[in-house]
Amino acid sequence: MIEQKPYRPNVGIALFNADGRVLIGHRFKGDGPEIILPGLDWQMPQGGVDEGEDLRDAALRELWEETSVKSAAYLGETDWLTYEFPPYDGPQSHRLAKFRGQRQKWFALRFTGQDGEIDPLTPRNGQPAEFDAWRWEKLDRVAELVVPFRREVYRAVAQGFAAFAN
In this prediction, residues 118-139 reach a mean pLDDT of 95
pLDDT tens-digit readout, 45-80: 999 999 999 999 999 999 999 999 999 999 999 999
Strands (E) located in the chain: 7-16, 22-27, 42-43, 46-48, 72-84, 101-111, 131-137
The contacts of residue 93 (CB under 8 Å, 6+ apart) are none
**Full-model pTM:** 0.94
Q: Domain boundaries in the chain?
A: 9-164
User: Residue 147 and residue 124: Cα distance in Å, rounded?
Assistant: 25
The pLDDT assigned to 2 comes to: 57
9-164 CATH: 3.90.79.10
The pLDDT assigned to 95 comes to: 78
Tell how strand 72-84 and strand 131-137 pair up: unpaired
The pLDDT assigned to 9 comes to: 96
166: confidence class by pLDDT, cuts 50, 70, 90: confident
In this prediction, residues 129-150 reach a mean pLDDT of 96
Backbone angles phi, psi at 142, to 5 degrees: -65, -35
